[in-house]
A and B are shown apart, each in its own frame.
Chain A
Amino acid sequence: MRDKREIKPVNSFNQKIDYILAAPALLWLTIFFLVPYFIVLIYGFLTPDIFDIKFEFSLDAYRQIVDGTYFRPFYVSFRMALLTTVLCILLGYPVAYFIARAKEKLRNTLLVFIIIPFWTNLIIRIFSWRIFLSYNGVLNDFLISLGLISQPLEIMRTDWAVILVMVYVYLPYMILPLYSVLEKLDFTLLHAAMDLGANEVKAFFKITLPLSMGGIFAGVLLVFIPALGAYLIPQLVGDQRSLYVGQVITYKIKNIPRNWPMASALSFTLLILVAVCLLAGYYLYQNRQKTKRFG
């Protein structure tokens, strides 16, 4: 029996009206999302000015991209994004699994607990970590009062702080898509696998993990890409000696002397990097799907 009628009711779809309805938002995105990237592209080939920009052609900015002057910030950002993603998978998977396997009534409540921090203002969350981690902050006070350490630990303004806060901020983005996949997963398959002689670990790696790959991919997308462009977290808790690409771009735009061509070139390079990561992820996923079907 069909539940829903796939056939659309008579005359309810009219292509012309559909285009008219869709036009405002698409036009909006074209003007304020697509066109700006063309301007970013153009500005990368202009000449910097202390306060503004000179409309004179120059290859300086891209020369500096190519000769590796700015390799370091990209490397720092990339490494941190990767590390954050891996940690988010390791922490997020068991949590998503736990919620998906909890009693049905409990699941929504547990999800709300995950969502509350996710909906709390980003700056506030970063700020609270500063209170927690700083030199004479809560964590150090606590550890000293327990007698575990005698000197306060230097955590703030280190890479450790950045990892901690990045994972903290992006973890829900990993948990939620993973949960939505695991929740739909047919756990009786595990039963079947175990019935056929697989032990629990094998059943997990042969059944659960492959079937939840879609959730992992979505989670990676939602964590890795924003993490790549992170500005606020390294800015507020990071080591100021190692700059992230987001910080460099922001300084070039905001701080005087401004260098908008450089910021544009960096932004465009980041955009390309993101596009490459997206495409790589997409093909990886597609290939997996294929081998799953035929292999």
Chain B
Amino acid sequence: MKLPRLSSFFKGMNLTVFTFVMIFLYIPILILIIFSFNDARIITSWKGFTFKYYAQLWENAAIKEAFWNTMLIAILSTVISTLLGLITALGLENKRLKGRRGFMGLLYAPLVIPDILMGVSLALLFNFLRVNTGMVTVLIAHITFCVSYAVIVIQSRLEDFDYSLIEAAMDLGAKPRTTFFKVKLPLIMPGVIAAALLSFTLSIDDFIITFFTSGRGFDTLPIYVEGTIRRGTITTINSLSTLMIGFTLFLVVFTKRIRKSLISFF
């Protein structure tokens, strides 16, 4: 079927805007990468090529600590919220479950409320409970904002699920347990993986909620970077940022491969 052709004016406009947006989206990233090799104390103008900030990065104990904190929180909150998300999505699978609408509302609410409010409210909760802020409070906060995403991503996968496959498995002699592990779980796995990846990126990306729930002495990378920018000692930030962009790119490529290999089944 041939689609109606857009006149060249419309087409040209769309292409122009697209190109403009692409430049807009990538210029800052490119500049950051280039300037991470800039041999200058002040970030702004080009003074020559160097690797020294990458070396400094390696020697900076605070950055290393912030990195490991970020990873620790990201991995823990990913595992916990993905598992929570999976069992919750399975629990809410039955559309006729009483009270399902209310539960869904509670799950969707964190997605439509500005992050800063979640940060403030958690900060005040921890204050009210007289809990010392630190790793545990940050972890709790991260699980709180990841779990909704995890449930929703896995649920969308379950929505496409063909229940006659469950019948087929039982028909062929598989008991409910076997059916779950051999048929259902493998088929919703792409959703589970997507949920985990989303939780992970949300966790390592978060600044504001962490900012409100972490105490002194527990910095994640975004917190560390923000502090450094504020204090003005930013020479290593370029190189750190470049590495983080590299990591993002790796994730994108990595998930695409997972996605591809899973799509080929269908």
Q: B-contacting residues of A (Cβ < 8 Å)?
A: 3-9, 11-13, 15, 17-26, 28-30, 32-37, 39-40, 43, 52-53, 91, 94-95, 97-99, 101, 112-117, 119-125, 127-132, 134, 136-138, 141, 168, 171, 187-188, 190-191, 194, 200, 204, 221, 225-226, 228-232, 236, 246, 249-250, 253, 260, 263-264, 267, 270-271, 274, 278
Contacts and interface: CB of A to CB of B under 8 A. Distances in A.
A274 B110 CA distance: 12
Contact of B25 (A29, A36, A117): A117
B7 interface: yes
A9 B10 CA distance: 51
A263 B109 CA distance: 21
Contacts of A221: 112
20 contacts: A12-B163, A13-B97, A18-B94, A19-B97, A25-B85, A25-B87, A28-B144, A29-B110, A32-B122, A121-B204, A123-B207, A124-B225, A127-B234, A128-B28, A128-B29, A131-B28, A229-B117, A249-B120, A270-B116, A278-B112
A226 to B, nearest CB: 6
A26 B212 CA distance: 23
A97 B109 CA distance: 29
Contacts of A9: 163, 166-167, 170
B98 interface: yes
Interface string B35-72: 10000001111000000000000000000000000000
Contacts of A278: 112
A229 B114 contact: yes
Interface of B: 1, 3-4, 6-7, 10, 13-15, 17-18, 20-22, 24-29, 31-32, 35, 42-45, 84-85, 87-88, 90-94, 96-98, 103, 106-107, 109-110, 112-118, 120-125, 127-128, 140-141, 143-144, 147-148, 151, 162-164, 166-167, 170, 176, 201, 204-205, 207-208, 211-212, 221-222, 225-226, 229, 234, 237-238, 241, 244-245, 248-249, 251-252, 256
Contacts, number: 272
Contact of B121 (A36, A128, A132, A191): A36
Given A9-B167, A132-B28, A22 B144 contact: no
B47 to A, nearest CB: 12
Contacts of A11: 176
* B interface, over-half SS: helix
A250 B125 contact: no
B7 A200 contact: yes
Nearest first, the 8 A-B pairs at minimum CB distance are: A229-B114, A21-B91, A22-B91, A36-B121, A128-B28, A94-B17, A25-B88, A128-B32
Among A20, A123, A274, the one with the most B-chain Cβ atoms within 10 Å of its Cβ is A123
A231 B116 contact: yes
A270 B117 contact: yes
B88 A22 contact: yes
Given A97-B14, A236-B229, A278-B112, A122 B244 contact: no
Contacts of B93: 13, 18
B44 A121 contact: no
Given A18-B97, A52-B127, A129-B28, A271 B148 contact: no
A25 B93 CA distance: 14
Given A52-B127, A246-B116, A253-B123, A5 B29 contact: no
Contacts of B122: 32, 36
Contacts of B124: 36, 39-40, 43, 260, 264
